[in-house]
Amino acid sequence: MAIELEINGVKRQVAAEADTPLLWVLRDELHMTGTKYGCGIAQCGACTVHLDGQPIRSCQTPVGTIGAAKITTIEGLGGAHPLQTTWVKHDVPQCGYCQSGQIMSAAALLAATPKPTDADIDAAMSGNLCRCGAYQRIRAAIKDASGELAVNAKA
């Protein structure tokens, strides 16, 4: 079955059954491997992408339910997003496996809450697991990125 999806601003036709998880379409059909498979039950956050700006778990989102919603993956943030640069600056990645999901959740947080508190960050990031335990560096990177975004907004 052919399904049209808008991913990172580009409309694409994919051959998939309606109940196929978005994650498999991204990785297997479109070869967009930035979004990772973690647990497969929407508990770890490694597969997080945005659907109309909201973070979702692509491992449990059937492509047939997406309709005209816009999908943004880690590739769609571009290589110079403040979160990506602060992630490096704060030496967040260790194994790196969860990082695309972490960044996508953080990007949705900053879009909704430009100056998040620790409680805001904890709430937004609570569904993203990091086996390496880089949570303090993740929080610092998010706060740093919020400052960079504020400066860029004023420019």
pTM of this prediction?
0.94
Q: How far apart, in whole angstroms, are the C-alpha atoms of residue 143 and residue 129?
A: 19
Report which of 79, 132, 131, 69 is spatially closest to residue 103, judged by C-alpha positions. 79
Q: What is the pLDDT of residues 52-80, one digit of tens each?
A: 999 999 999 999 999 999 999 999 998 77
pLDDT tier at 132 (50, 70, 90 boundaries)? Answer: very high
Q: Sheet containing 2-7: give its strands across.
A: 10-15, 2-7, 70-72, 48-51, 54-57
Q: What is the reported pLDDT for 148?
A: 83
Mean pLDDT of the chain: 95
Q: What is the pLDDT of residues 78-127, one digit of tens each?
A: 877 899 999 999 999 888 899 999 999 999 999 999 999 999 999 999 99
* Local structure of 143: helix, strand or coil: helix
Amino acid type, 153? A
For the chain, domain boundaries: 2-76, 78-154
Domain covering 78-154 in this structure, CATH number? 1.10.150.120
What token pair was written down for 118?
Answer: 């620790």
For domain 2-76, the question of CATH label 3.10.20.30 is answered with yes
| 78-154 has the same fold as 2-76 | no
Phi, psi of 30 (to 5 degrees): -105, -5
Q: What is the pLDDT of residues 24-57, one digit of tens each?
A: 999 999 999 999 999 999 999 999 999 999 999 9
